[in-house]
A = this chain, B = another copy of it.
Amino acid sequence: MNDMTNFTKIKDIGEFGLIRRIGELTSHSLPSGFTGIGDDCAIIPGSLGAQYAVSTDLLVEGVHFVKSEIGGRDLGYKSLAVNLSDLAAAGATPCGAFLSLALPEDTDVEFVDEFSKGFDEISKAYGCPLLGGDTTGSKSGIVVNVCVIGHRGKNATVSRSGSKPGDIICVTGALGDSGAGLEYVLNPALERDEIAVELIKRHHRPVPRVEEGKFLAQRPEAHSMMDISDGVASDLPHILERSSVSAEVELENLPVSDLLQNKYGSQPSKLYHYALHGGEDYELLLTVDSRYYADLSAGFEKKFGKPLCAIGRIVAGDECKARYIENGFGMMPGGAPWSHFC
C-alpha cells in the first residue's frame, strides 16, 4: 500500500513548507561563525572578523515576470536588484554577482543584449561586477538565477532574530506601488494612465536600499532587519518567528506613495491591501529599540532625506502573530498571501 505522502504535492505544502522540508532533510551543524537558512543572507566568516554575506534569487518566466511586459533591459536590472536588496537587509557591501541564464534557443540575441545592458546598469551603479555564471538552453521559458556576495564588518550583526517586545517596527519607504503595478502587468486589458505606467515601472525597477541597509545594520538599536519581498503581511512573520515575539501594526501608519494615494485614496481597503500584501517593494523592514527610535530616524532622515516610518510595535507573545489595527480596532488583513506557487 502506498504511503499517503506519495500523493502530497508541493502546492499542498506551499513555499515555506517546502523550504522547511528541504532544510530539515539537509541540516547539519554549521562551522563556527556560519549562519545558514532563515535570514536574507547566509553569513560566511572571513579573517579578522569580516564576514561574507551571500544570497540567491530565482526568477522564472510566467511566475515572476511576463517577458513581453518587462522586456530584456528591466529584467536584467531587476534580476540583480532583488538580490542586492538581500545584501541591503544584511547591511553588506556588494562584492560581485553570478548569473545563471536558461534561454529558449529561439530567443532573440537582442533580448539578451538588452538584458545584459540592464544588468550592467545596476551592476555598475552598486559596484557589483558580474564575476561568473552559467548559460544553458531551456525547453520552455526564461529562467534567471542570480547569486550575490557582499562583505560587512564585524560590527554589522543584524539578522531577523533580534526583535524584543517594545521595539518600534519601521520601514524605509512607501509600500504597495510594486503590487499595484503588478495588477496591470497581469491584466493587460486594464487601461493604463500615467500613474499606472509609473506603478508598473516601480514593479520592474525596484530600488535596493543598500546604503540604507549599511547605515542601519551597524546600529545596535536596530534589532532585526529584512527586506520586503513578499509584502509586510508575509514578511513580518519571519521576524516574529525568528525572534519569538508578536506584533501590532497600525494600518493607517503604512506609508504609501503620492501615486497610490492619488489612485486609491478613496478606497482605504485597497490601499491597505497593496501596502500589506503587494510584495516586491524591496524596502527594508526593521525593528528598533523604542528608546533610540527618534534619534535613529533623525539620523536616517539627515542622511537619506526621509524618516524611518514607524508602522507598529513588537509585543510579547510567542504565538508569533501580527495583529493589524484600524482606528484602534484589531483586524486580520484580508487577501491571499503572496506566493510563488500561486
Contacts and interface: CB of A to CB of B under 8 A. Distances in A.
A192 interface: no
A100 B56 contact: yes
Nearest to A10: B107
Contacts of A18: 103, 109, 112, 135
A232 to B, nearest CB: 20
Given A44-B96, A98-B147, A112 B21 contact: yes
Interface stretch (A60-68, A157-165, A201-209): A60-68
Nearest to A107: B10
Interface stretch (A45-53, A245-253, A290-298, A313-321): A45-53
A70 to B, nearest CB: 15
Nearest to A104: B10
A99 interface: yes
A41 interface: yes
A287 interface: no
Interface string A9-31: 11111010011011101111010
A116 B57 contact: no
Contacts of A61: 139
A266 interface: no
Nearest to A117: B25
Contact of A47 (B46, B101, B342): B46
A5 interface: yes
A109 B12 contact: yes
A174 interface: no
Nearest to A48: B47
Interface stretch (A126-134, A219-227, A303-311): A126-134
Contacts of A19: 135
Interface string A81-124: 00000000000000110111111011111101101110110011
A103 B143 contact: no
Nearest to A58: B100
The 8 A-B pairs at the shortest CB distance, nearest first, are namely A47-B47, A140-B140, A25-B116, A42-B131, A11-B105, A147-B147, A145-B145, A62-B139
17 contacts: A8-B108, A11-B105, A18-B135, A21-B109, A25-B120, A28-B120, A34-B96, A34-B131, A42-B96, A42-B131, A42-B132, A44-B131, A56-B98, A56-B100, A57-B100, A58-B136, A60-B136
